[in-house]
A = this chain, B = another copy of it.
């Protein structure tokens, strides 16, 4: 379900955060569904429990999951997160588009690339 890419230069805990964010945003994990346990996932990925905990703490800080002490971590199901993510992505896209237009690509050419998706 979750894989670590050791060729990726980003830290492990960041990769884990990113993977779960995508799973949750795309609906692959439902609201109130239980997350893998800290120790269990650490075992599965052969990494340290502290690293998982760091990732989960970040996911909680960003509102993707909530914690019930003694029971586990669960998906929050906050629908506003999708909008936030959309805005983030669109912001990044527009920055990149600006750059590529400045170095000589035409808007039409770019839109054509997008249409082909």
Q: Which of A66-84 contact B (CB under 8 A)?
A: 82
Q: Is the interface of A mostly helix, strand, loop or mixed?
A: helix
Task: Tell me the complex Cα distance, A91–B26, Å.
Answer: 21
Task: Tell me the complex Cα distance, A94–B117, Å.
Answer: 8
Q: Which of A82-117 contact B (CB under 8 A)?
A: 82, 85-86, 89-90, 92-94, 96-105, 107, 110-111, 113-115, 117
Q: How many copies does the complex hold?
A: 2
Query: At the interface, yes or no: A25 with Cβ under 8 Å from chain B?
Result: yes
Q: Which single member of B92, B101, B103 contacts A96 (CB below 8 Å)?
A: B92
CB-CB < 8 A to A86: which residues of B?
100, 103-105
CB-CB < 8 A to A101: which residues of B?
117
Q: A93-B110, A96-B96 are in contact. List 18 more A-B contacts (CB 8 A).
A: A22-B99, A26-B102, A26-B103, A85-B103, A86-B104, A90-B110, A92-B92, A93-B96, A93-B97, A97-B114, A97-B117, A98-B117, A101-B117, A107-B115, A110-B114, A111-B111, A111-B114, A114-B114
